[in-house]
A and B are shown apart, each in its own frame.
Chain A
C-alpha cells in the first residue's frame, strides 16, 4: 500500500477515507485535521487558555501533544481517582501523565479525589451504593464535576477532552437505542459555556480510535495500555465492538453515523430543538454549579451521603 501524498510505503490505512499515509504524512495529517475541526466547530482560538483533561491514555495524551504542536496554550489536568488494586491503575496513569508533561515541559494540574473529598472513587461508590456495584457512574459524575470546577476556578476559557469518534459513536448508538432525545440533543463536538459551566470541546471527535492509537505509537507517546479494571464488560465497549463489526463490512459507517447525526441535529430535521433555557437550573446550595435538582447537585448529594455513611 502506498502513501497517497508521496507514494512511499504506507504505515496507516484509513479505509473510511480511502486513504493510506506514510508515517511522516500521517503525523502531519492528524494535527492538520484537528485544526480544521477546531475551526469548523468554533471550539477555541489561539488567544484562549485551554485545559486538557488528561488520563494517561492514548487519546488525551495525543490531544495534548497535538494542541501543543499546533501552538495552542494548553495545560493539563489529571484527576487521581484512586483506582489501584493489583494493576496500580491510577498510580501508573499518573506516572505516565507526569512523565509526558515533564518531557514536553508542560504545565500539569493534579487533583487527588481522596485528598480533596476524603474518599477514593471505588470507596465513594461503595458507601453511596451508586452504580450497581461498579464505580463507573460515580467516576463519571465526579470527573465531570471536578473538571468543570477546576477549569472555572483556574480561569481557563475551555475544557478539552480526548473523546474520539468511536467514543462518540458508541454514546450515540446507546442513546439512539433508547431514543433518549435529551441526551441526543446534548451530544456534540462543543458544549457551549453556560452560567456555572465551562465550555467543553472534543477536538478528536472525528478521528477513529484506531487512528489515535496509531498516532500515539507513531509519536512515541507512552500511554497506559491496560484498561481501567472496572471498564471490563462495559456497555460502551460492547457498543464499540458492535460498531467495529459494521465498519469491517461497511468502511466509513461509523463516520457517517456520527456526521449524519450532527447534521440532522444542526438542521433540526430529526428533533425539535427545545428552548434550552436554564430556568429550571439553579446553583447548587453547596458548590454553586448548576443543577436541576432542588437544593444540592448530584455530586454534593453523593458526598453528603458518603459523609453520613462514613460517620455512622
Chain B
C-alpha cells in the first residue's frame, strides 16, 4: 500500500469489507480514516466466528 492512503481505501483495494475486520497498529485499535505511514505494519483481526449453540 502507498503511504498517505487512508486505511479504508487500503481495505477496499484489497477487497476486504471493513465490517469484517478490526485494525490495530502496534497493538492499538485504529479507525478506518487513519492514514497509513511508510513501512508500518497494520494488523487486521478477523471478527467473524461461527459455531455457537
Binding site for B on A (CB under 8 A): 1, 10-13, 20, 23, 55, 57-59, 136, 139-140, 143-144, 147, 161-163, 166-167, 208-210, 212-214, 217-218, 225, 227-228, 230-231, 234, 236-237, 240-241, 244-245, 247-248
Closest-by-CB residue of B relative to A245 is B17
Known: A161-B52, A167-B52. A217 touches B32 (CB 8 A): no
Known: A11-B31, A23-B29, A245-B17. A217 touches B53 (CB 8 A): no
Decide if the interface of chain A is mainly helix, strand, loop or mixed.
helix
10 A-B pairs with C-beta separation under 8 A: A11-B31, A55-B52, A143-B53, A210-B19, A213-B47, A217-B29, A231-B49, A236-B50, A244-B20, A244-B48
State A46–B48 Cα separation when bound (angstroms): 31
State A20–B24 Cα separation when bound (angstroms): 16
Cross-chain contact B53 with A240 (CB below 8 angstroms)? no
Q: In whole Å, how far is A223's beta carbon from the nearest beta carbon of chain B? A: 10
Cross-chain contact B20 with A241 (CB below 8 angstroms)? yes
Cross-chain contact B50 with A231 (CB below 8 angstroms)? yes
Residues in B with CB closer than 8 Å to A163 are 52
Cβ proximity bits B1-45 to A, threshold 8 Å, 1 near / 0 not: 000000000000000011111101000111111000000000001
Select B31's contact among A20, A136, A140, A236, beta carbons within 8 Å: A20
Cross-chain contact B30 with A11 (CB below 8 angstroms)? yes
State A166–B29 Cα separation when bound (angstroms): 21
Residues in A with CB closer than 8 Å to B45 are 213, 217, 225
Closest-by-CB residue of A relative to B48 is A240
State A236–B48 Cα separation when bound (angstroms): 10
Select B47's contact among A139, A147, A210, beta carbons within 8 Å: A210
Known: A12-B31, A20-B31, A248-B17. A213 touches B53 (CB 8 A): no
State A10–B33 Cα separation when bound (angstroms): 10
Select A237's contact among B18, B32, B50, beta carbons within 8 Å: B50
Q: In whole Å, how far is A22's beta carbon from the nearest beta carbon of chain B? A: 10
Cross-chain contact B52 with A166 (CB below 8 angstroms)? no
Residues in B with CB closer than 8 Å to A218 are 29
Cross-chain contact B17 with A240 (CB below 8 angstroms)? no
Q: In whole Å, how far is A303's beta carbon from the nearest beta carbon of chain B? A: 17
Select A11's contact among B19, B29, B47, B51, beta carbons within 8 Å: B29
Cross-chain contact A11 with B28 (CB below 8 angstroms)? yes
State A277–B14 Cα separation when bound (angstroms): 53
Cross-chain contact B29 with A144 (CB below 8 angstroms)? no
Q: In whole Å, how far is B39's beta carbon from the nearest beta carbon of chain A? A: 21
Closest-by-CB residue of A relative to B43 is A217
Q: In whole Å, how far is A275's beta carbon from the nearest beta carbon of chain B? A: 27
State A248–B47 Cα separation when bound (angstroms): 14
Cross-chain contact A230 with B51 (CB below 8 angstroms)? yes
Closest-by-CB residue of B relative to A238 is B50
Q: In whole Å, how far is A281's beta carbon from the nearest beta carbon of chain B? A: 20
Known: A210-B19, A241-B20, A247-B19. A140 touches B53 (CB 8 A): yes
Cross-chain contact A237 with B31 (CB below 8 angstroms)? no
Known: A11-B28, A210-B22, A213-B45. A227 touches B17 (CB 8 A): no
Residues in B with CB closer than 8 Å to A23 are 28-29
State A228–B53 Cα separation when bound (angstroms): 13
Cross-chain contact B48 with A237 (CB below 8 angstroms)? yes
State A140–B17 Cα separation when bound (angstroms): 29
Residues in B with CB closer than 8 Å to A245 are 17
